[in-house]
Each structure stands twice: as C-alpha cells, then as structure tokens.
C-alpha cells in the first residue's frame, strides 16, 4: 500500500461565504501570454520570481481560474503559474493531434517551461492535468522536481476489485451538450459533475465557463477536444509493466476526492503504490478538491512540497 501523507497542521475549512469572487482571490496576480518555441501559453502567475516554480494544470475543458482559491497561498513559497493547457482557454489550439493529445500537451509544458527560463519545476495537475503530469513523468522526467497528480488514472490494470463510484451523468455527453449550447443549464450540469456538493459550484463559476466556452476560437477547439467534429480517440493507457519499467520520478503525490466520479480513491491509492508515490484522500469532496475544500488542499500540498 502507498504511504499516506500526513498533514503538518490542522485544517479549519473556511465557510464558502468567506471566499471572494475569482477576480478578488486573484488580485495581485499577473495574467500574460508567453510565446514558446512552438506554442503560445496563457498563464496566471504570482510569487517571488526567485522562488521555486510551481505549475498548475487544469482538467479537460478548463483553464487557469479554478485555482483562484489556492494559488495566492502557494505563491507565499513558490513562483506559481496556473496555465491554460494546450487546446484550452487562450493557449494555442493548433495543430490538434487527436490521437496524441496528451503527449502534445506534455511537450507544451516543456515548451512553456523553457520559454520561462526554467529547466525543471514542481508540477501539479488535476484530472486531464494529472494525465499530462503522468506523461511528463514518463517522457520528460528530467523537467520535474516533484509531481502532484490530482485524480490521476492513466494506468491499465487487470484488477477488478475497485469500488464503483456514483456518476452524475456521462462526462462526455455533458461536455458535448455544453459545447454545442453553452446555456446556463447545460454548463451548470457539466460543472456539477466535478463536485460532490452541487452548492459549491457557484453562479460566478457557471457564468465564467459560459463566457469561455462561448468564445468562437475556444468553442471550435473544444469541439475537437470533446469529439464533436473529430472521432473520439482510443484511450491510451500505460500497462503496469510499462510503468514499472519506465517510471523514474522519485517524488510524487497522488490525491483523490472520496467521491471522485468513475474510479475512486482505492484506484488512486493503487496508482500511487505502483509509482512509489505518497497518497492523500480528501474526504466528502468530488473531482475538484482545490475548489471544494481549498484550505485542506493548500495544507496538503504545503505539507508535501515543504
């Protein structure tokens, strides 16, 4: 079994009413476009420029703003970059590689890393971002000092004893509906999939995603990402044997919410054990612990990274 991370300090989660708007929480951050050798990247950044770099990568269909509640706290110790991943937000959309998108997104991380003048960084990724992080660990291990994989699940296994998790509908169908018609109702249903408590997904987050997904260039790219205009790609999962033979990143943390849809924490702990990572479970939350329990997320990552 994987070693479980222990928090260094107790957590008193603030009530939702204590959190300001996304713009309020990100006050003092810089938002800019970085031109790499191959791609353009949008980043939200904050922190001392001499501090160790920490990159934050979102899930499929997303952008940097869901890290609003945790980014400033991380910026006390790191130079933090919340990044719009390749094909997402305001970062580059072309060339779209349907069958190798995760490999391309991992290469885009390296492109951004070098454009910012770094050789390596701490990397945190959520869902799709965790998949990108795992690909970085498999293909570019020299570019990371530590990895945090939130909702990681890119390992094929013959085990059948993982607990079945409750679903809130099919993510792909919900995503396609919201891309084709980014109405309040469609976008809200898509965002509810990410959390255990629907009330944690506030009106601002719904309206922000409506705005983002309605932008013509972004919408066109998401029609590819969610297989509306192109065939749905065959998932490319690494086998246990491939992972054991190739994985070399020594310092990794895998985190999961108790109510993560599809595969739950027992699968996450299995993945952590396979790659020699530590493991941490966020109780009573879903796929977005950095939004649903931000104070605990801050403490867990600080306990691990510091």
Interval 123-170: pLDDT, tens: 999 999 999 999 999 999 999 999 999 998 889 988 888 988 877 899
What is the predicted pLDDT for the residue at 166? 77
What is the predicted pLDDT for the residue at 168? 86
Residue 109: domain span:
16-164+236-305
Q: CATH number of the domain at 293, please.
A: 3.40.50.1820
What is the predicted pLDDT for the residue at 267? 94
The upper half-sphere exposure of residue 233, i.e. CA atoms within 13 Å in the direction of its Cβ, equals 13
Classify residue 22: in a domain, yes or no: yes
Instruction: Report the pLDDT averaged over residues 270-282.
Output: 96
42: three-class secondary structure by DSSP: strand
**pLDDT above 90: percentage of residues in the chain:** 91
Q: Domain total for the chain?
A: 1
What is the predicted pLDDT for the residue at 262? 82
Classify residue 212: in a domain, yes or no: no
Residues 125, 133 contacting (CB under 8 angstroms): yes
Classify residue 64: in a domain, yes or no: yes
**pLDDT above 70: percentage of residues in the chain:** 100
- pLDDT tens digits, residue range 42-85? 999 999 999 999 999 999 999 999 999 999 999 999 999 999 99
Classify residue 229: in a domain, yes or no: no
What is the predicted pLDDT for the residue at 154? 83
The upper half-sphere exposure of residue 213, i.e. CA atoms within 13 Å in the direction of its Cβ, equals 29
Confidence of residue 300 (pLDDT cuts 50, 70, 90): very high
Classify residue 176: in a domain, yes or no: no
What is the predicted pLDDT for the residue at 87? 98
Classify residue 254: in a domain, yes or no: yes
Classify residue 225: in a domain, yes or no: no
What is the predicted pLDDT for the residue at 159? 87
What is the predicted pLDDT for the residue at 1? 87
Classify residue 219: in a domain, yes or no: no
What is the predicted pLDDT for the residue at 275? 96
Tokens at 22, concatenated: 């996304």
pTM: 0.97
Q: Please list, in sequence order, all residues whose beta carbon lies within 8 angstroms of the beta carbon of residue 201, skipping any fewer than 6 positions away.
A: 188, 191, 192, 194, 195
For the chain, what is the mean pLDDT?
A: 96
What angle is formed at CA 184 by the lines to CA 68 and CA 181, rounded to 5 degrees?
Answer: 110
pLDDT exceeds 80 at position 30: yes
pLDDT exceeds 90 at position 10: yes
- pLDDT tens digits, residue range 237-251? 899 999 999 999 999
**Least reliable range by pLDDT among 6-20, 126-140, 160-174, 213-227:** 160-174
Distance CA 205, CA 198 (A): 12
What is the predicted pLDDT for the residue at 234? 83
């Amino acid at each position: 079994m994987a070693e479980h991370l222990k928090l260094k300090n107790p957590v008193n989660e603030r009530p939702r009413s204590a959190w300001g708007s996304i713009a309020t929480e990100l006050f003092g951050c810089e938002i800019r476009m970085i031109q790499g050798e191959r791609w353009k990247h949008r980043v939200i950044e904050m922190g001392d420029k001499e501090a160790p770099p920490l990159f934050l990568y979102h899930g499929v269909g997303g952008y940097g703003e869901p890290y609003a509640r945790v980014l400033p706290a991380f910026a006390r110790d790191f130079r933090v970059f919340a990044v719009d991943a390749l094909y997402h937000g305001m970062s580059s959309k072309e060339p779209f590689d349907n069958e190798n998108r995760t490999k391309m997104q991992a290469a885009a991380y390296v492109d951004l890393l070098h454009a910012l003048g770094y050789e390596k960084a701490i990397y945190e990724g959520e869902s799709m971002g965790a998949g990108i992080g795992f690909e970085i660990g498999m293909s570019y291990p020299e570019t990371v000092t530590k990895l945090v994989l939130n909702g990681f699940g890119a390992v094929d296994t013959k085990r059948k004893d993982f607990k079945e998790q409750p679903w809130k509908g099919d993510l792909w169908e919900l995503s396609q509906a919201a891309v084709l018609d980014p109405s309040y109702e469609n976008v809200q249903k898509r965002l509810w999939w990410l959390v255990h408590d629907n009330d944690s997904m506030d009106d601002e987050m719904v309206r922000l995603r409506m705005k983002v997904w309605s932008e013509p260039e972004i919408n066109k790219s998401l029609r590819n990402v969610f297989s509306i205009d192109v065939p749905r790609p065959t998932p490319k999962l690494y086998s246990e044997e491939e992972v054991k033979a190739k994985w070399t990143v020594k310092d990794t943390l895998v985190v999961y919410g108790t109510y993560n849809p599809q595969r739950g924490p027992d699968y996450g702990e299995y993945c952590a054990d396979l790659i020699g990572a530590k493991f941490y479970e966020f109780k009573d939350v879903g796929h977005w612990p950095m939004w649903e329990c931000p104070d605990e997320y801050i403490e867990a990552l600080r306990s691990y990274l510091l």
